[in-house]
Each structure stands twice: as structure tokens, then as C-alpha cells.
Amino acid sequence: MSEQVGVAVLGLGTIGGEVARTIVADDRLRLVAALARRLESANRAGIDPSLFGVDGAAIVDNPDVQVVVEVLGGEQPAADLMIRALANGKHVVTANKEAVSKNLPAILAAARDGDAAFLCEASVGGGIPLFVSLKQIMETNRIERIRGIVNGTTNYILWKMETEGTAYADALAQAQELGYAEPDPTADVEGFDSSYKLAILASLISGRHVRPEEIDRTGISTVTAEDIEEAKLKGGTVRLIASAERAGDNLLLRVAPTFVSGDDLFSLVSANYNAVEIVGDNVGPVMLHGQGAGPKPTASAILSDVFEAIRSGSAATPKVML
């Protein structure tokens, strides 16, 4: 790459700010525009205010932009902007599990129409090299099942309850103090976030659009200190497990607090870490473990995707029929 590649960042929250600063610091890339609601976000992120804009469509249509990084969060306007960018022939990299899980067919169709790359490594498992591993395994395996601890907030809460005997409400309050949980923690603690991530994984392994609503979902808000104590007495613990398992032509899809025995690697997934196990018919079980969130791990995964998009173009887009 002798010339710098123009990148736009949609969203300047903690992740977007980190991504934008990394792009500015990388001489292979040029930050062309950054979308946020208010100029303060650009200032807080340390971004040249002249790059700041409030009009997403204009940024996505900008001819100097070759890659769009979408980290707005939420379904809209994120999904529409990604679809518009892809149809325009711009590569899109995102960490947005909600927008992707609800709109995957339209997104992949736009990527096909625009002959552009769509990559979402950071949408599940943060910095864990999950999709690149899944893609490699899928090439020579039928995936029998997949299970994961894919939400760091709930894992932190359950781990606090396990290691300190804390009640659910106290562990949640601690997670909120540390910034691991939102003031309104519903999306995490009721399992919505996990179901978005599982829907993306299940769509990739099944080749059909698995909608988040299809998933049998139970959160952790009803888990008590006694439940955890009981699990410990049985030599294990409790984790919020998202799982997809083949049953004939169907997938059994579930997010639920689950007993994990003490000899299972998942029992040692601590704090806000994530883990995903992929079981292939040839390779057997493969487990990946790492930081599922946080600005630096997530930005690291996003930047990898940006370079993969530049390198491989539309060939980088997952080859699934939806």
C-alpha cells in the first residue's frame, strides 16, 4: 500500500475514539471523517474537529472514503448506513452485534451488489480471533455445535458472586461502578447481547439468517447467591452460556445461566473475559479465550479487519447463503 487508504469512523464513543486515534497514528491509513452527535465527542477523542460531521449519509457517500468503520451501536441508523456504504462499493467493518444480527441478509446482499468487503470480527468476542478461526475450521469441517461465554458484563457478575459470595444486586452495582455494566443493564443481564452474538455465529455456521428472537433466552437477573453456592458444592460454577447445537436439520439455540463443571475450561473464565468453543467433525473441540470487550482489544480486532478488507476486498466477506 503506497497510498493511504481513506477511512471514516461512524461513532466516537470509547471504542470509536480509540479506533479513530489508531487510524490517525497509522501511516497506511487516513482518517477522512468521523460521525458523532456532538462536537464534544470529537474533542474528547482528540480528533481534528474539521473531520467531525453529523450527517452519516454524507460521510458514507464521500468519494474519499474507502473503508467505513461502524461503531455507533444500536440497530439504526447503523444498519442503513452500513448497507448504503456497501452498496456504494465501500468496505464496511463493524463491532455492532445488534445491527448485524438483525440485518445480516440485507448487509451481505449490499456487499455483493457493491463488490465490497463486510467484516465483523469485533462484533463477537472482542479481540479474540474468532471469525478468522471459524472460517478456517469451516473450510474442512462441519460444525456440530458452538457454545460461548460472549458477554463480559454477566460473566463479571457471576464470577464476583462465585468468588466473593456476593448477591446479584451487589455484583451488578460493582460492575456498574467499574463501567462494565450500563446504568440500564437490561441488554446485558437479560441475555439480549448474548443472543445477538449467538445469532451471528449461528447464521454463519448454518447458512441461514438466525434471528435473535428465535433464541430461547434467559438472563442472569434471577440467579441467586444460593444457586451459585449449590453449583460450587457440586464442584462447578454457573456461567451465562450461549449455545447452538445441531439437531437433525435444526439448530437448538439457547442463552441461559448454566452449570459448568470444574473440569470444564469454561469454569475458569474469570472477570469480564469471553470464551467460545467450536466443535468440528474433524478437528474436534477448539476453544478460544480472551478479552471480549474494552477499547484496545476491540480496536485491535477492528483494525485487523480494516487491513483484511483492503487486502482481500469482497473476497473477505463471509461466504454464506442467507
| Distance in Å, CB of 47 to a copy of itself, minimum | 19
Binding site for a copy of itself (CB under 8 A): 22, 121, 127-129, 132-133, 136-137, 139-141, 263-265, 267-268, 270, 280, 282-291, 294, 296-297, 299-301, 303-304, 307-308, 311, 315
Task: Provide DSSP, 238-282.
Answer: EEEEEEEEEETTEEEEEEEEEEEETTSGGGG--TTEEEEEEEETT
Q: Residue 206: left if φ>0, alpha if ψ -120 to 50, beta else—which one?
A: alpha
Contact 69, 32 (CB under 8 A): no
Task: Provide DSSP, 57-121.
Answer: HHHHH-TT-SEEEE---SSTTHHHHHHHHHHTT-EEEE--HHHHHHHHHHHHHHHHHHT--EE-G
| Distance in Å, CB of 219 to a copy of itself, minimum | 26
Residue 102 annotated among the catalytic residues of the structure: no
Contact 225, 166 (CB under 8 A): yes
The number of beta carbons lying within 10 Å of the beta carbon of residue 157 is 31
Using DSSP, state whether 6 is helix, strand or coil: strand
* Nearest residue (CB) to a copy of itself, 11 versus 297: 297
* Nearest residue (CB) to a copy of itself, 191 versus 280: 280
Using DSSP, state whether 177 is helix, strand or coil: helix
| Distance in Å, CB of 176 to a copy of itself, minimum | 22
* Nearest residue (CB) to a copy of itself, 15 versus 59: 15
Which amino acid makes up residue 34? A
* Nearest residue (CB) to a copy of itself, 110 versus 238: 238
| Distance in Å, CB of 278 to a copy of itself, minimum | 9
| Distance in Å, CB of 299 to a copy of itself, minimum | 7
| Distance in Å, CB of 44 to a copy of itself, minimum | 20
Question: What is the C-alpha to C-alpha distance for residues 297 and 15, in angstroms, rounded to an integer?
Answer: 9
Considering the candidates 102, 197, 232, 319, report the single residue annotated as catalytic. 197
* Nearest residue (CB) to a copy of itself, 35 versus 303: 303
CA 42 to each of CA 54, 90, 269, 273, 321: distance values in angstroms, whole numbers, following the listed order: 11, 23, 35, 29, 39
Widest pairwise Cα distance in the chain: 62
| Distance in Å, CB of 305 to a copy of itself, minimum | 9
**Sign of the C-alpha dihedral computed for residues 181, 185, 189 and 195 taken in this order:** negative
Which residues lie closer than 8 Å to 220 by C-beta, 6 or more apart? Answer: 154, 157, 158, 168, 189, 191, 240, 257
> Could you tell me whether strands 118-119 and 91-94 are parallel, antiparallel, or unpaired per DSSP bridges?
parallel
* Nearest residue (CB) to a copy of itself, 246 versus 307: 307
Catalytic positions are 197
